Amino acid sequence: MSRLLPLFEWCDNTRVSVAIRDSRVLFPVIETVHLFALTILLGTTIVVSLRLMGVTLRRQPLAELAAELAPWMDGSIVVMLASGALLFLSEALKCYGSSAFRVKMLLLLGALVFHVTVFRRVSRADESKVGPAWRKAAGALGLALWFGVGLAGRGIAFLE
């Protein structure tokens, strides 16, 4: 990981990172936007995942529900990634030494790949073509990955 230190140092010294750190308002505002986007993502993911697992909204067609919530899910991911990048820039060197940050990045990569491939495909497919075991597994794994991202993110602030 020491080969990445110059990159983290550069990120920590950009004009944007210094401006965020020097402001009393920017970091809290960016973090609020970030957490709001995460809340929307988790809320929509919970609804679709619980439907995938057959726990709730059983009369609602799964593909229809997933299509209706997709703009909220995708939009919140975009906002979360953009605001997360700004938060990272403002404390890149802190993130460099944080094991929670590394865990979060691995979970984020896994969650994003899973979301745009398996989760999206299973939730939008005709229910007769995807078995209940696959739907339940996709719902549970989607929840676990996104909640893991959120929990690891909290760990950055509290774990060294």
Angle, vertex CA 55, rays to CA 50 and CA 61, nearest 5: 75
The pLDDT value recorded for residue 36 is: 95
Which residues make Cβ contacts (< 8 Å) with residue 142, sequence separation at least 6? 45, 48, 49, 52, 111, 114, 115, 119
CA distances from 151 to 14, 42, 108 (A): 28, 12, 11
d(CA 139, CA 136): 5
Which two structure tokens, joined as six digits, stand for 33? 């936007």
What is the total count of domains within the chain? Answer: 1
Entry pTM: 0.85
State which residues form the domain around 102.
Answer: 2-158
The pLDDT value recorded for residue 95 is: 84
Mean pLDDT by 10 residues, the chain (160 residues): 84 92 92 94 93 86 90 95 94 87 94 92 78 87 93 80
The pLDDT value recorded for residue 159 is: 62
CA distances from 35 to 69, 102, 119, 121, 141 (A): 18, 19, 22, 26, 21
